[in-house]
Amino acid sequence: MQEQLTPEIVEELGKRAGYAAVEYRNEVDSTNNLAKTLPFPLPGLVVAAMQTAGRGQRGKLWVTEPGALAFSVVLPAEAAPLGYPWAVWTSQVVATVLKETVPQLCPQLTPEEITIKHPNDIYLRGKKLSGILAETTAERIVLGVGLNVNNQLLELREIATSLRVATECKYSLVAILEPIVASLLRLSKELPTAESLQSQ
């Protein structure tokens, strides 16, 4: 089981999923901040082992501990029409992948236990499991995801949970990360673009 991600593993899974560029860092303030400024070809993927100043909706702090996932998918700005509800779309994709993937890895969890709290939070058994922050620039759409996987959340268990805390199973980070980033990229290509809508 791959408990810790490495640059080589992230590069390999990102390229398998079809990303043109993949960046892995041991620690960042925010994967979204880095994703907005990195000079790399799109679509891109940014993954960090630790995130010290991640942000959620309304500026709430999201700190990523070892054992959790923090990543940002970077798409070209023309991937969908201006104003597209990216946070809602991303939370739906991530939740769907978790419902399909996690019960196969740990039978103690059922798909119905994973829910979405509109617009951008994913809950497991009534506690926050994942948060999504979608941001746009003139050239990029950045979809940031923080997901509690194997981290223990010792100080936050009243309001938050991780897959490991909730199910007592230990998870491969690759087995969780790869289907999510692959689905986000694949499904983003099926969205109507601004250009395709104008040509109709």
pLDDT in tens, 37-90: 999 999 999 999 988 876 655 555 556 788 999 999 999 999 988 889 999 999
pLDDT value, residue 86: 96
Question: Which of 93, 150, 142, 101 has its CA nearest to residue 122?
Answer: 93
pTM: 0.91
Residue 108 confidence (pLDDT) above 70: yes
pLDDT value, residue 161: 94
- Residue 151 falls in which region: left (phi positive, over 0), alpha (psi -120 to 50) or beta: beta
CATH number listed for the domain at residues 7-191: 3.30.930.10
The ranges assigned to domains in the chain are 7-191
| Both tokens assigned to 59 | 């500026």
pLDDT in tens, 136-187: 999 999 999 999 999 988 677 788 999 999 999 999 999 999 999 999 999 9
pLDDT value, residue 62: 59
Higher pLDDT, 188 or 63: 188
